[in-house]
Amino acid sequence: MAVHKIELVQENLIGSFTNEVSPIIKVNSGDSIRFETLDAGWGTGTSNSDRRKPFSRRDKIDGGHALIGPIYVENAKRGMVLEIEFNDIIIGHYGFTAAGQYPNWQNQKLHLTEYQEIILDWKLDSKLMNGKCDINGRTFSVSLKPFMGVIGMPPESGGVHSTWPPRYCGGNIDCRELVKGSKLYLPISVDGGYLAIGDGHALQGDGEVSCQAIECPMEVVDITVNLIENMSLSNPRANTPAGWITFGFDEDLNEATVQALDGMLNLMGDLFGLNRVEAIALGSSIVDLRITQIVNGVKGVHACLPHGILK
């Protein structure tokens, strides 16, 4: 199978999901793709102090996160599933996290409006896999767990679709478990797929409570794509180092929870030959429900079935 290298240049960037533009590359099932990304805000550099935005943004199609794409997958048809395997994810040298900048219900309920905006300046080390920031003269250090926040395809043929919400065909999923070694399964909604990826995160907690993780560019993202014809999915599914994961997305957190659980019952039926009542009975002891994120308008919930927990 072929290995493709995508350069970080103007023509390979897009800030939306659409099949109305020419794809930057055409690949086959089984091919690998290697690329570098900007941070979500279209920035790059070796530190926050020299962060710059070297590329222009087009009015209609570049309103969202900086993504690499679209990538056309030969023979991808609506109704199939696209498997994206993350072979490698290598962070850049800097990251940032902002808080208090959005005057919304969340900040008001948490009494954040009395505080000034803060932007944490993170120094990232890809060898030690840690990040450090200073707050009021104190240095805080964290272990890093990098992943890509936005991975998806347009939800329908035609039109320009925002990168901000998560959808059944991917988008701003923001799931901290999609690290190196993970396989993400997305329903394909348009022929060719038109996959786009970006929004690097060095670390994020479930919920992404300030609206940002440690936002960073990625020096290397290496993926392999595979077409799957005999899998029926209504929402994304993933096989990660933490376990099997199913997703739910809705403006209502309860509905997102039901979707994630519904996907997990289906998965447990596939894996273990259980009916839905049997699966939910076992699942009550071994399945974790987690809030993926609450900040993208459409909320996310993921259900996790840890590997090896059920013998």
Q: Structural domain boundaries of the chain?
A: 1-226, 242-311
The pair of three-digit structure tokens given for residue 96, joined into one six-digit string: 């940032």
- Cβ neighbours of residue 212 closer than 8 Å, sequence gap 6 or more: 96, 97, 98, 99
The pair of three-digit structure tokens given for residue 266, joined into one six-digit string: 């289906």
Confidence of residue 311 (pLDDT cuts 50, 70, 90): confident
pTM above 0.85, yes or no: yes
CATH of domain 1-226: 2.60.120.580
> Could you check whether the bond before residue 154 is cis, i.e. omega within 30 degrees of 0?
no
Question: Does the pLDDT of residue 133 top 70, yes or no?
Answer: yes
- Cβ neighbours of residue 242 closer than 8 Å, sequence gap 6 or more: 177, 304, 306, 307
Intrachain domains 1-226 and 242-311 with the same fold? no
Question: Does the pLDDT of residue 101 top 80, yes or no?
Answer: no
Kindly report the CATH class assigned to 242-311. alpha beta
CA atoms of 243 and 305, how far apart (whole Å)? 5
Question: Does the pLDDT of residue 83 top 90, yes or no?
Answer: yes
What are the tens digits of pLDDT across the range 174-218?
999 999 999 999 999 999 999 999 999 999 999 999 889 999 999
Helical ranges in 44-186 per DSSP H: 105-109
Q: Which residues pair with 125 in a beta bridge?
A: 130
What are the tens digits of pLDDT across the range 26-82?
999 999 999 999 999 999 999 999 999 999 999 999 999 999 999 999 999 999 999
| The pLDDT of residue 117 | 81
